[in-house]
């Protein structure tokens, strides 16, 4: 693995946000949801997330997650993803969300 500098790390804008809305995403190649997240002063953003194995739509609402918000938008099928949802692959390769242990203001930067 390549070593990076602190300046490299600072380029990745990781922010906390609260999931406001979750929709099915039937046009995605792999099972996924479309999620709308409130990043506080940075606004509400949409993303596609392949998290259907571990989470129902209902249990995601109100959950605080961590997203990378400074990637360019990416088209996924007929949908524009505005940020990257972060998580870890479990033993089966299914994604477990990166979450916040205690509530923090939406838009808080990971430091």
Model confidence pLDDT, tens digit, residues 46-66: 999 999 999 999 999 999 999
pLDDT for 65 equals 98
pTM greater than the 0.75 cutoff: yes
Determine the CATH number of domain 13-97. 2.40.50.140
The strand pair at 33-38 and 14-24 is best described as antiparallel
How far does CA 25 lie from the centroid of its chain?
15
Q: How far apart are the first and last CA of the chain?
A: 22
Q: What are the structural domain ranges in the chain?
A: 13-97
Stretches in the chain below the pLDDT threshold 50: none
How far does CA 95 lie from the centroid of its chain?
11
pLDDT for 53 equals 96
CA–CA distance, 35 with 21 (Å, rounded to integer): 6
Dihedral sign of CA atoms 20, 17, 14, 45 in order: positive
């Amino acid at each position: 693995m390549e070593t990076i500098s602190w300046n490299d790390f600072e380029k990745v804008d990781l922010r906390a946000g609260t999931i406001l809305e979750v929709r099915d995403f039937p046009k995605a190649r792999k099972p996924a949801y479309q999620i709308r997240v409130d990043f506080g002063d940075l606004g509400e953003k949409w993303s596609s997330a392949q998290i259907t194995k571990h989470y129902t739509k209902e249990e995601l609402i109100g959950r605080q997650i961590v997203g990378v918000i400074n990637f360019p938008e990416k088209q996924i099928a007929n949908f524009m993803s505005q940020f990257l949802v972060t998580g870890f692959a479990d033993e089966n390769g299914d994604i477990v969300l990166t979450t916040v242990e205690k509530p923090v203001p939406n838009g808080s930067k990971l430091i």
